[in-house]
Amino acid sequence: MKEISRKHILVTGGAGFLGSHLCERLVAQGHDVLCVDNFYTGAKDNIAHLLDCANFELMRHDVTFPLYVEVDEIYNLACPASPIHYQHDPVQTTKTSVHGAINMLGLAKRVKAKIFQASTSEVYGDARVHPQTEDYWGHVNPIGPRSCYDEGKRCAETLFTDYRRQHGLEIRIARIFNTYGPRMHPADGRVVSNFVMQALSGEPLTVYGDGSQTRSFCYVDDMIDAFIRFMNLISSPDGPVNLGNPFEISMRQIAEQIVEITNSSSVIEYRPLPIDDPWHRQPDITRATKLLAWKPMTPLHEGLAKTVRYFAKMLRFPEETALGQRRPGLAPWPQDRP
Protein backbone atom coordinates (compact mmCIF):
# COMPACT_ATOMS: atom_id res chain seq x y z
CA MET A 1 0.00 0.00 0.00
CA LYS A 2 1.16 3.54 -0.73
CA GLU A 3 2.19 5.83 2.09
CA ILE A 4 -0.75 7.96 3.18
CA SER A 5 -0.93 11.48 4.61
CA ARG A 6 -1.77 12.21 8.27
CA LYS A 7 -5.49 12.21 8.99
CA HIS A 8 -7.81 12.86 11.92
CA ILE A 9 -9.62 9.56 12.49
CA LEU A 10 -12.49 8.67 14.83
CA VAL A 11 -12.86 5.05 15.97
CA THR A 12 -16.08 4.31 17.85
CA GLY A 13 -15.87 1.21 20.01
CA GLY A 14 -12.14 1.90 19.98
CA ALA A 15 -11.43 0.22 23.32
CA GLY A 16 -12.96 -3.06 22.20
CA PHE A 17 -11.30 -6.10 20.67
CA LEU A 18 -11.19 -4.97 17.04
CA GLY A 19 -11.27 -1.26 17.85
CA SER A 20 -8.15 -1.35 20.01
CA HIS A 21 -6.16 -3.16 17.33
CA LEU A 22 -7.37 -0.65 14.74
CA CYS A 23 -6.42 2.32 16.96
CA GLU A 24 -2.99 0.81 17.52
CA ARG A 25 -2.38 0.38 13.79
CA LEU A 26 -3.60 3.89 12.90
CA VAL A 27 -1.50 5.49 15.65
CA ALA A 28 1.54 3.59 14.38
CA GLN A 29 0.87 4.99 10.90
CA GLY A 30 1.08 8.51 12.34
CA HIS A 31 -2.59 9.49 12.22
CA ASP A 32 -4.36 11.48 14.93
CA VAL A 33 -6.77 8.98 16.46
CA LEU A 34 -9.80 9.76 18.62
CA CYS A 35 -10.97 6.61 20.40
CA VAL A 36 -14.59 6.76 21.58
CA ASP A 37 -16.08 4.07 23.83
CA ASN A 38 -18.68 3.80 26.58
CA PHE A 39 -16.83 0.78 28.05
CA TYR A 40 -19.87 -1.48 28.05
CA THR A 41 -17.71 -4.28 26.63
CA GLY A 42 -14.52 -2.35 25.81
CA ALA A 43 -11.69 -2.10 28.33
CA LYS A 44 -9.18 0.63 29.13
CA ASP A 45 -6.51 -2.05 29.43
CA ASN A 46 -6.86 -2.64 25.68
CA ILE A 47 -5.68 0.87 24.84
CA ALA A 48 -3.64 1.72 27.96
CA HIS A 49 -0.39 1.43 26.01
CA LEU A 50 -1.61 4.18 23.64
CA LEU A 51 -2.53 6.77 26.26
CA ASP A 52 0.91 8.37 26.29
CA CYS A 53 1.01 8.72 22.49
CA ALA A 54 0.71 12.34 21.41
CA ASN A 55 -1.50 11.39 18.45
CA PHE A 56 -4.02 9.34 20.50
CA GLU A 57 -7.00 10.65 22.47
CA LEU A 58 -9.59 8.74 24.48
CA MET A 59 -13.17 9.94 25.01
CA ARG A 60 -15.87 8.21 27.06
CA HIS A 61 -19.05 8.57 25.03
CA ASP A 62 -22.10 6.54 23.99
CA VAL A 63 -22.81 6.69 20.26
CA THR A 64 -26.56 6.65 20.86
CA PHE A 65 -26.01 10.35 21.62
CA PRO A 66 -24.70 12.83 19.01
CA LEU A 67 -21.00 13.61 18.87
CA TYR A 68 -19.52 16.87 17.57
CA VAL A 69 -15.89 16.57 16.49
CA GLU A 70 -13.83 17.40 13.41
CA VAL A 71 -12.46 14.33 11.65
CA ASP A 72 -11.53 13.10 8.18
CA GLU A 73 -12.57 9.47 8.62
CA ILE A 74 -14.89 7.52 10.91
CA TYR A 75 -14.70 3.81 11.72
CA ASN A 76 -18.01 2.88 13.37
CA LEU A 77 -17.26 -0.24 15.41
CA ALA A 78 -19.43 0.53 18.44
CA CYS A 79 -21.71 -2.37 19.37
CA PRO A 80 -21.38 -5.48 21.55
CA ALA A 81 -20.65 -8.35 19.18
CA SER A 82 -20.96 -11.53 21.25
CA PRO A 83 -24.34 -13.17 21.92
CA ILE A 84 -23.86 -13.03 25.71
CA HIS A 85 -23.23 -9.29 25.63
CA TYR A 86 -25.71 -8.18 22.97
CA GLN A 87 -28.53 -10.31 24.42
CA HIS A 88 -27.99 -8.93 27.94
CA ASP A 89 -29.69 -5.65 26.96
CA PRO A 90 -31.25 -6.27 23.53
CA VAL A 91 -33.03 -2.91 23.33
CA GLN A 92 -29.76 -1.06 23.93
CA THR A 93 -28.06 -3.28 21.35
CA THR A 94 -30.58 -2.25 18.71
CA LYS A 95 -30.26 1.40 19.75
CA THR A 96 -26.48 1.22 19.48
CA SER A 97 -26.67 -0.18 15.95
CA VAL A 98 -29.44 2.10 14.69
CA HIS A 99 -29.13 5.36 16.68
CA GLY A 100 -25.36 4.99 16.60
CA ALA A 101 -25.42 4.70 12.83
CA ILE A 102 -27.69 7.73 12.50
CA ASN A 103 -25.45 9.84 14.74
CA MET A 104 -22.21 8.82 13.04
CA LEU A 105 -23.71 9.28 9.58
CA GLY A 106 -24.93 12.72 10.60
CA LEU A 107 -21.43 13.58 11.78
CA ALA A 108 -19.89 12.27 8.55
CA LYS A 109 -22.34 14.33 6.52
CA ARG A 110 -21.56 17.51 8.48
CA VAL A 111 -17.79 17.23 8.26
CA LYS A 112 -17.68 15.44 4.87
CA ALA A 113 -15.83 12.46 6.27
CA LYS A 114 -15.51 8.96 4.85
CA ILE A 115 -17.26 6.47 7.10
CA PHE A 116 -16.76 2.74 7.65
CA GLN A 117 -19.50 0.54 9.08
CA ALA A 118 -18.53 -2.63 10.93
CA SER A 119 -21.41 -4.83 9.85
CA THR A 120 -21.44 -8.56 10.40
CA SER A 121 -21.92 -11.97 8.82
CA GLU A 122 -24.94 -12.22 11.15
CA VAL A 123 -26.92 -10.27 8.54
CA TYR A 124 -27.05 -13.58 6.64
CA GLY A 125 -28.72 -15.33 9.60
CA ASP A 126 -28.99 -19.11 9.30
CA ALA A 127 -27.86 -18.95 5.70
CA ARG A 128 -29.41 -21.09 2.98
CA VAL A 129 -26.58 -20.17 0.60
CA HIS A 130 -23.09 -21.53 1.22
CA PRO A 131 -20.56 -19.95 1.14
CA GLN A 132 -22.21 -16.55 1.64
CA THR A 133 -21.86 -13.93 -1.09
CA GLU A 134 -22.71 -10.24 -0.71
CA ASP A 135 -25.73 -10.51 -3.00
CA TYR A 136 -27.42 -13.03 -0.69
CA TRP A 137 -30.24 -11.35 1.28
CA GLY A 138 -30.05 -13.68 4.24
CA HIS A 139 -32.38 -15.86 6.31
CA VAL A 140 -32.92 -14.01 9.59
CA ASN A 141 -35.51 -14.47 12.34
CA PRO A 142 -36.70 -10.88 13.05
CA ILE A 143 -38.08 -11.74 16.52
CA GLY A 144 -35.56 -14.26 17.85
CA PRO A 145 -33.06 -13.78 20.69
CA ARG A 146 -30.32 -12.83 18.21
CA SER A 147 -32.44 -10.39 16.21
CA CYS A 148 -31.48 -7.32 18.26
CA TYR A 149 -27.99 -7.67 16.77
CA ASP A 150 -28.85 -9.20 13.38
CA GLU A 151 -31.63 -6.76 12.52
CA GLY A 152 -29.84 -3.80 14.12
CA LYS A 153 -26.89 -4.36 11.81
CA ARG A 154 -29.17 -4.90 8.80
CA CYS A 155 -30.93 -1.61 9.54
CA ALA A 156 -27.55 0.13 9.88
CA GLU A 157 -26.61 -1.14 6.41
CA THR A 158 -29.85 0.34 5.08
CA LEU A 159 -29.08 3.69 6.68
CA PHE A 160 -25.54 3.76 5.33
CA THR A 161 -26.70 2.88 1.84
CA ASP A 162 -29.46 5.50 1.87
CA TYR A 163 -27.06 8.20 3.09
CA ARG A 164 -24.91 7.36 0.10
CA ARG A 165 -27.90 7.52 -2.29
CA GLN A 166 -29.46 10.62 -0.78
CA HIS A 167 -26.41 12.63 0.31
CA GLY A 168 -23.53 11.21 -1.72
CA LEU A 169 -21.70 10.10 1.42
CA GLU A 170 -18.48 8.10 1.03
CA ILE A 171 -19.34 4.86 2.85
CA ARG A 172 -17.69 1.50 3.42
CA ILE A 173 -19.78 -1.45 4.69
CA ALA A 174 -17.75 -4.44 5.87
CA ARG A 175 -19.52 -7.68 6.69
CA ILE A 176 -17.13 -9.10 9.26
CA PHE A 177 -16.94 -12.85 9.77
CA ASN A 178 -15.62 -14.52 12.93
CA THR A 179 -12.43 -12.82 14.08
CA TYR A 180 -10.16 -13.92 16.93
CA GLY A 181 -6.91 -12.99 18.61
CA PRO A 182 -5.42 -11.19 21.61
CA ARG A 183 -7.72 -8.79 23.51
CA MET A 184 -10.85 -10.85 22.98
CA HIS A 185 -13.02 -10.55 26.08
CA PRO A 186 -12.46 -13.72 28.18
CA ALA A 187 -16.17 -14.00 28.99
CA ASP A 188 -17.70 -13.02 25.66
CA GLY A 189 -19.11 -16.49 25.01
CA ARG A 190 -17.56 -16.78 21.56
CA VAL A 191 -16.02 -19.98 20.30
CA VAL A 192 -12.28 -19.26 20.44
CA SER A 193 -12.24 -17.38 23.75
CA ASN A 194 -14.54 -19.97 25.34
CA PHE A 195 -12.46 -22.93 24.22
CA VAL A 196 -9.10 -21.36 25.10
CA MET A 197 -10.21 -20.30 28.57
CA GLN A 198 -11.74 -23.70 29.23
CA ALA A 199 -8.69 -25.58 27.96
CA LEU A 200 -6.24 -23.49 29.99
CA SER A 201 -8.36 -23.95 33.10
CA GLY A 202 -8.71 -27.70 32.58
CA GLU A 203 -12.49 -27.45 32.23
CA PRO A 204 -14.59 -29.32 29.63
CA LEU A 205 -14.81 -27.57 26.25
CA THR A 206 -18.50 -26.90 25.65
CA VAL A 207 -19.50 -27.69 22.07
CA TYR A 208 -23.10 -26.95 21.16
CA GLY A 209 -24.99 -29.42 18.98
CA ASP A 210 -23.00 -32.35 17.65
CA GLY A 211 -20.00 -30.16 16.74
CA SER A 212 -20.42 -30.53 12.99
CA GLN A 213 -21.62 -26.95 12.49
CA THR A 214 -18.92 -24.82 10.89
CA ARG A 215 -17.36 -21.36 11.15
CA SER A 216 -14.51 -19.57 9.43
CA PHE A 217 -12.00 -17.75 11.64
CA CYS A 218 -9.85 -14.76 10.66
CA TYR A 219 -6.91 -13.60 12.78
CA VAL A 220 -7.26 -10.02 14.01
CA ASP A 221 -4.12 -8.65 12.29
CA ASP A 222 -5.44 -9.77 8.90
CA MET A 223 -8.84 -8.22 9.60
CA ILE A 224 -7.37 -4.84 10.58
CA ASP A 225 -5.29 -4.86 7.41
CA ALA A 226 -8.54 -5.32 5.44
CA PHE A 227 -10.27 -2.47 7.33
CA ILE A 228 -7.56 0.01 6.42
CA ARG A 229 -7.29 -1.13 2.81
CA PHE A 230 -11.07 -0.81 2.52
CA MET A 231 -11.14 2.70 3.94
CA ASN A 232 -8.30 3.76 1.65
CA LEU A 233 -10.22 2.90 -1.52
CA ILE A 234 -10.59 5.98 -3.70
CA SER A 235 -14.38 5.65 -3.91
CA SER A 236 -17.20 3.68 -2.33
CA PRO A 237 -17.76 0.22 -3.78
CA ASP A 238 -21.24 -0.74 -4.90
CA GLY A 239 -22.51 -2.48 -1.78
CA PRO A 240 -21.08 -4.33 1.22
CA VAL A 241 -17.87 -6.38 1.18
CA ASN A 242 -17.33 -9.65 3.07
CA LEU A 243 -14.20 -9.69 5.22
CA GLY A 244 -13.07 -12.96 6.75
CA ASN A 245 -11.16 -16.16 6.22
CA PRO A 246 -12.80 -18.59 3.77
CA PHE A 247 -11.15 -21.59 5.48
CA GLU A 248 -14.02 -23.52 7.06
CA ILE A 249 -13.71 -25.67 10.17
CA SER A 250 -16.19 -27.51 12.39
CA MET A 251 -16.67 -26.68 16.04
CA ARG A 252 -15.43 -30.12 17.02
CA GLN A 253 -12.24 -29.69 14.97
CA ILE A 254 -11.35 -26.30 16.43
CA ALA A 255 -11.99 -27.62 19.95
CA GLU A 256 -9.59 -30.48 19.24
CA GLN A 257 -6.97 -28.05 17.88
CA ILE A 258 -7.12 -25.87 20.98
CA VAL A 259 -6.82 -28.90 23.27
CA GLU A 260 -3.77 -29.97 21.26
CA ILE A 261 -2.14 -26.51 21.31
CA THR A 262 -2.59 -26.14 25.08
CA ASN A 263 -1.87 -29.83 25.77
CA SER A 264 -4.88 -29.63 28.05
CA SER A 265 -6.50 -32.54 29.84
CA SER A 266 -9.91 -31.05 29.03
CA VAL A 267 -12.56 -33.20 27.38
CA ILE A 268 -15.23 -32.07 24.93
CA GLU A 269 -18.72 -31.77 26.39
CA TYR A 270 -21.73 -31.55 24.07
CA ARG A 271 -24.73 -29.36 24.88
CA PRO A 272 -28.01 -28.45 23.10
CA LEU A 273 -27.73 -26.04 20.18
CA PRO A 274 -28.91 -22.47 21.02
CA ILE A 275 -31.96 -20.98 19.25
CA ASP A 276 -31.25 -19.56 15.77
CA ASP A 277 -27.58 -20.59 15.90
CA PRO A 278 -26.46 -20.69 12.24
CA TRP A 279 -25.30 -24.07 10.94
CA HIS A 280 -22.72 -22.80 8.47
CA ARG A 281 -20.75 -19.58 8.25
CA GLN A 282 -18.19 -19.18 5.47
CA PRO A 283 -17.45 -16.01 3.51
CA ASP A 284 -16.99 -15.73 -0.21
CA ILE A 285 -14.25 -13.08 -0.30
CA THR A 286 -13.99 -12.73 -4.07
CA ARG A 287 -15.01 -9.05 -3.90
CA ALA A 288 -12.52 -8.28 -1.13
CA THR A 289 -9.72 -10.02 -3.01
CA LYS A 290 -10.40 -7.99 -6.17
CA LEU A 291 -11.12 -4.61 -4.54
CA LEU A 292 -8.52 -4.66 -1.78
CA ALA A 293 -5.84 -7.00 -3.14
CA TRP A 294 -6.26 -8.74 0.22
CA LYS A 295 -6.59 -12.19 1.67
CA PRO A 296 -5.95 -13.55 5.18
CA MET A 297 -2.35 -14.62 5.67
CA THR A 298 -2.26 -16.07 9.22
CA PRO A 299 -2.70 -19.86 9.45
CA LEU A 300 -5.30 -20.89 12.03
CA HIS A 301 -2.84 -22.90 14.12
CA GLU A 302 -0.45 -19.95 14.33
CA GLY A 303 -3.20 -17.47 15.23
CA LEU A 304 -4.58 -19.79 17.88
CA ALA A 305 -1.14 -20.17 19.46
CA LYS A 306 -0.81 -16.37 19.73
CA THR A 307 -4.27 -16.18 21.24
CA VAL A 308 -3.46 -18.90 23.76
CA ARG A 309 -0.35 -16.95 24.82
CA TYR A 310 -2.49 -13.88 25.47
CA PHE A 311 -5.03 -15.71 27.61
CA ALA A 312 -2.31 -17.64 29.46
CA LYS A 313 -0.76 -14.33 30.48
CA MET A 314 -4.19 -12.97 31.47
CA LEU A 315 -4.77 -15.99 33.71
CA ARG A 316 -1.36 -15.29 35.29
CA PHE A 317 0.15 -18.64 34.54
CA PRO A 318 3.80 -18.75 35.64
CA GLU A 319 5.93 -15.86 34.43
CA GLU A 320 7.81 -18.06 31.96
CA THR A 321 4.66 -17.81 29.79
CA ALA A 322 5.61 -14.22 29.02
CA LEU A 323 9.05 -15.47 27.94
CA GLY A 324 7.52 -17.73 25.30
CA GLN A 325 7.93 -20.93 27.33
CA ARG A 326 5.33 -23.38 28.54
CA ARG A 327 4.33 -24.35 32.02
CA PRO A 328 6.24 -27.40 33.29
CA GLY A 329 4.87 -30.63 31.90
CA LEU A 330 3.04 -29.09 28.93
CA ALA A 331 3.95 -29.49 25.29
CA PRO A 332 5.88 -26.71 23.49
CA TRP A 333 4.00 -23.95 21.72
CA PRO A 334 3.48 -24.81 18.03
CA GLN A 335 6.03 -22.23 16.83
CA ASP A 336 8.62 -23.68 19.25
CA ARG A 337 8.39 -27.16 17.79
CA PRO A 338 11.23 -28.38 15.55
Q: Catalytic site residues?
A: 149
Write the secondary structure of the chain as one string of H (helix), E (strand) and C (coil). Answer: CCCCCCCEEEEECCCCHHHHHHHHHHHHCCCEEEEEECCCCCCHHHHHHHCCCCCEEEEECCCCCCCCCCCCEEEECCCCCCHHHHHHCHHHHHHHHHHHHHHHHHHHHHHCCEEEEEEEHHHHECCCCCCECCCCCCECCCCCCCHHHHHHHHHHHHHHHHHHHHHCCCEEEEEECCEECCCCCCCCCCHHHHHHHHHHHCCCEEEECCCCCEEECEEHHHHHHHHHHHHCCCCCCCCCEEECCCCEEEHHHHHHHHHHHHCCCCCEEEECCCCCCCCCCCECCHHHHHHHCCCCCCCHHHHHHHHHHHHHHHCCCCHHHHHCCCCCCCCCCHHHCC
Closest to 285 in 3D by CA, of 212, 225, 235, 211: 225
CA distances from residue 190 to 171, 185, 247 in whole angstroms, order as listed: 29, 9, 18
Q: Name 10's bridge partners.
A: 34, 74
